[in-house]
Structure 1
Amino acid sequence: MYCRFCGKEIPEGARFCINCGKEVDVAETSTSKTSAPEPSLYGTAQAPSPVNPAVVVNPAQNYHLAWFKFIIYFQLFANAAVMTYNAVTCLFGLAYGDDAGLIYGICPPLKAIDVIYGIICLGAAVTAIVVRQRMAHYVQNAPILYMAFAGAVMALNILYNFAVLAALNTVSSSAMQAGSANVAGTVLGTVIGAAVYFPLNYVYFKKRKDLFVN
């Protein structure tokens, strides 16, 4: 480098000129080295951008699901099987064995009631599978559909028993009185079961409502 006053050569980085003694302004420049990306066969390689994968958390792991698993793996399949059995039994009069023809001959309304009940039971069996699939896939409002289905099945059984009782009354009041005790027991058991079943399920699924979002 050279002194800007006298023009003499001075050592690189010197603060004062050794010839004229004046202070020399030394401009310091810093160079920053940047590493270029390594070339590739297809041009300049690009540095991979940092990836922050989303952490998928299964909310089901935060709950005890023993009852839910019982519903989807056993109860609803069992409901479908029972309703199918009831449908076949009523549609073909199997509940009365070899006396079906005689009983239907004495009480014609009973046959119509059994046929209607059998058809509804077939629909209920299909509905049980549909509800099961929606529950298993955590479809939104599936628990409401499940409880509505359970209530409909209970109501169907009560109505069927009352209809049979009314049909027997057209034939004989004594037959109606004999069957009324069974109907009363069925209705009472259903009402007590519903009074326990629905509140417990409502609370259970309300605590797990964030599971059913699909």
Structure 2
Amino acid sequence: MSQEYNTAPNATLPMGWHKFLIYFSLWASALFCVVTGIMTFSGSHYGGYAQEMYAIFGGMRAVDIAFGLIWIAIGAYAVLTRFALARFRKGASQKLTVLYGANVAANVLYMILASSVIGVSLWGEMDGSSYSSLAVSIVMIFVNRAYYAKRASMFAE
């Protein structure tokens, strides 16, 4: 069974953003998600205080294990999305939207669950970069949808 790949048609639209996504951004995102997943799964994101954290807030261990696996899955999905975009597969831009949406949803859900286990709202404990990261992910959903909507004809099967 041979696999055929779509190649970029002679496009008149610039593809710089597309190339940035497939050659750097999605690989970096995958690496970041996998590293975050491993750190969350192992508890090492507590900086050596995982045992103390889990002794006080036992439910955090289950949350961290679940979200460690979720982050690793999101990292794998980033690689899958990268190859779909690089091969101009139909539905590739939707995969990118799902990827950004999953990133936002996982961050928000982790904060909600961690807050409920700890009993204190962690939203006030987030620094500006955490809020910025969420905002950027949300904005990127709309930016990428607009970008790829103009290039939809390039992604036909």
What SS does the aligned partner of 2:47 have? helix
- Whether 1:204 and 2:143 are equivalent positions in the alignment is no
More helix by percentage:
2
- Whether 1:137 and 2:87 are equivalent positions in the alignment is yes
Aligned residue in 2 for 1:163: 113
Structure index of larger Rg:
1
Count of equivalent residues: 151
CA–CA distance in 2 between the matches of 1:202 and 1:182?
Answer: 32
After superposition, the C-alpha distances for 1:60-112 in whole angstroms (9 at most, x for unaligned) are 44220110011101111111101111111111111123221111011001111
What SS does the aligned partner of 2:48 have? helix
CA–CA distance in 2 between the matches of 1:125 and 1:58?
Answer: 25
Note the 1:35-184 alignment, pairs <5 A: 59-169=9-119, 176-177=120-121, 179-183=122-126
Q: Which residue, 101, 117, 136 being the options, matches 1:193?
A: 136
Ranges of 4+ aligned residues in structure 1 off by more than 3 Å: 183-192
**What displacement does 1:197 show?**
2.1
Higher RCO (Cα < 8 Å, 6 or more apart): 2
Q: What root-mean-square deviation, in Å, do the aligned CA atoms of Structure 1 and Structure 2 show?
A: 2.2
Unmatched runs of 5 consecutive residues or more in structure 2: 1-6
Report the TM-score, using the length of structure 2 for normalisation: 0.85
Percent identity for Structure 1 against Structure 2: 25
Report the TM-score, using the length of structure 1 for normalisation: 0.64
Tell me if the contact between 1:110 and 1:167 (Cα under 8 Å) persists in the aligned partners: yes
